Amino acid sequence: MPDVHSLVNEFVIKLQKRQIEGSKTTAKLTAELLRSFISQLRLPHSNQAGALIDAVKEVGEKLITAKPVELAVGNVVRRVLHIIREEDLSITNAAVGGLNLASESDDDDGNDEYDHPVLSASAVAAAARSALRPPSLQTLLDDMPHSAANPHTSSSGGDSEGKSKSADSLRRKLKHDVIEAVNELIQEISTCHEQIAEQAVEHIHHNEVILTLGSSQTVKEFLLAAKEKNRSFRVFVAEGAPRYQGHAFAKELASSGLQTTVITDSAVFAMISHVNMVIVGAHAVMANGGVIAPVGLNMVALAAKRHAVPFVVLAGVHKLCPLYPHNPEVLLNELKSPSELLDFGEFSDCLDFGSGSGSPLIHVVNPAFDYVPPDLVSLFITDTGGHNPSYIYRLIADFYSPDDLVVRRKSAS
């Protein structure tokens, strides 16, 4: 146990010090951390799911407060909580079935109806997801699934030894299933780029001009996938001040044989009429379909809207955040160091507080993110396919349980 805690602490410190950058890495690391946390957690005999949820919530809260601006952490925590609830529900269903079976087996009356193997909840969920149907309608109807269902198992578990034995195996099963599902989640996060890139051919056509801003791994793989399918197209890269990651991005694209043009951010409006489609990455996708994206994208989106150019946002599902941008928990921005904008030495004479009123005459603000409202976004491409901004809430209902939306307040009370 202590080593898990030290793992958690180490991760928290890394998050705090901004040593982990990028939503995908953060999401993956968070999921892996939660997996090892769950696997080492000793569960009580009764109300396992509840205990598990509380424990994960506790850790999750720590992780979220360590870097509130990185919404992917909260997303993964909520996903894991959702997984636990789902698994618990499926086991409970099975257990209820099992108990019924046990009680009926006294009458020596075998009932095939309950004999089917317990389906893995993840399989159920996956099936449900592919059918685009809520994974468990019961969860939504049932206000508190674990509080309703678990006392039942525990009380019956105490009834007889045989039953407790089955509860014991069920307990192991719950943990095992949860870990299995978390593994799947990790797999999903790590393959999200390929999943998204697979759809590239459907969106990029011959002789098109694509505009993007800054640098995004998702966008890069998307474009390269289209290139591999022998689509010939051109890419305009806006340099993405103040970090100018667009420069390196253009270099990468060019070295892969893509026809690339670099423009300044301020030239986006001038160039947008030549462009067929804007494809960008995102920092997070909010529940209303709004996007938190690298700074400068709002301007690009407005330009695209003005010229009726489709504005396509690529985002792995781990970027899907069940919160709305007006939520007080959502920090829309992070102010980075002004040294990215200007050279401290050159401006040091303007920052001399020794003269005048002592208050700085120059203030440099360097926000990292922009907010793009949903009506400026034409299409989201996630690993599950293309979606309209107005459909995002539906996806969120698939992936998150409404009980977990507020991770913090629950655990504090």
CB of 382 to other proteins, least distance (A): 25
CB of residue 362 to other proteins, shortest distance in Å: 9
Q: How far is the CB of 57 from other proteins (least distance, A)?
A: 15
Per-residue H/E/C for the chain: CHHHHHHHHHHHHHHHCCCCCCHHHHHHHHHHHHHHHHHHCCCCCCCHHHHHHHHHHHHHHHHHHHCCCCHHHHHHHHHHHHHHHHHHHHHHHHHHHHHHHHHHHCCCCCCHHHCCCCCCHHHHHHHHHHCCCCCCHHHHHCCCHHHHHHHHHHHHHCCCHHHHHHHHHHHHHHHHHHHHHHHHHHHHHHCHHHHHHHCHHHHCCCCCEEEEECCCHHHHHHHHHHHHCCCCCEEEEECCCCCCHHHHHHHHHHHCCCEEEEECHHHHHHHHHHCCEEEEECCEECCCCCEEEECCHHHHHHHHHHCCCCEEEECCHHHECCCCCCCCCCCCCCECCHHHCCCHHHHCCCCCCCCCCCCCCCCCCCECEEEECHHHCCEEEECCEEECHHHHHHHHHHHCCHHHCCHHHHHHC
Start-to-end Cα distance in the chain: 24
- Name the residue nearer to other proteins (CB basis): 73 or 204: 73
Q: Between 276 and 327, whose beta carbon lies closer to other proteins?
A: 327
Instruction: Say if residues 277 and 309 touch (Cβ distance below 8 Å).
Output: yes
- Looking at the Cβ atoms of 130 and 359, the one nearer to other proteins is 359
Of 138 and 337, the one with the shorter C-beta distance to other proteins is 337
Q: Which is nearer to other proteins, 110 or 360 (CB)?
A: 360
Q: Which of 196, 278, 202 is nearest to 237 (CA)?
A: 278
Q: How far is the CB of 38 from other proteins (least distance, A)?
A: 22
- Considering the complex, what minimum distance in angstroms separates the CB of residue 339 from other proteins? 5
- Whole-number minimum distance, CB 20 to other proteins, in Å? 6
Q: Which is nearer to other proteins, 169 or 337 (CB)?
A: 337
Q: How far is the CB of 194 from other proteins (least distance, A)?
A: 22
Nearer to other proteins, 52 or 332 (CB): 332
Q: Exposure of 2 by Cβ count < 10 A (0-12 exposed, 13-18 middle, 19+ buried)?
A: exposed
Contact 398, 387 (CB under 8 A): no
Q: How far is the CB of 309 from other proteins (least distance, A)?
A: 29
For the bound state, the minimum distance from the C-beta of residue 314 to other proteins, rounded and expressed in Å, comes to 21
The minimum distance between CB 15 and other proteins, in angstroms, equals 10
- From the list 144, 169, 141, 176, the residue with the least C-alpha distance to 39 is 176
Toward other proteins, which CB reaches closer, 63 or 211? 63
In the bound state with other proteins, the residue whose beta carbon lies nearer, of 10 and 228, is 10
Considering the complex, state which of residue 338 and residue 373 has its C-beta at the smaller distance from other proteins: 338
Residues that bind other proteins (CB under 8 A): 6, 10, 13, 16-21, 65-66, 243, 328, 335-340, 343-346, 348-349, 351-360, 363-364, 366, 368, 408-409, 412-413
For residue 276, count other CB atoms closer than 10 A to its CB. Answer: 15
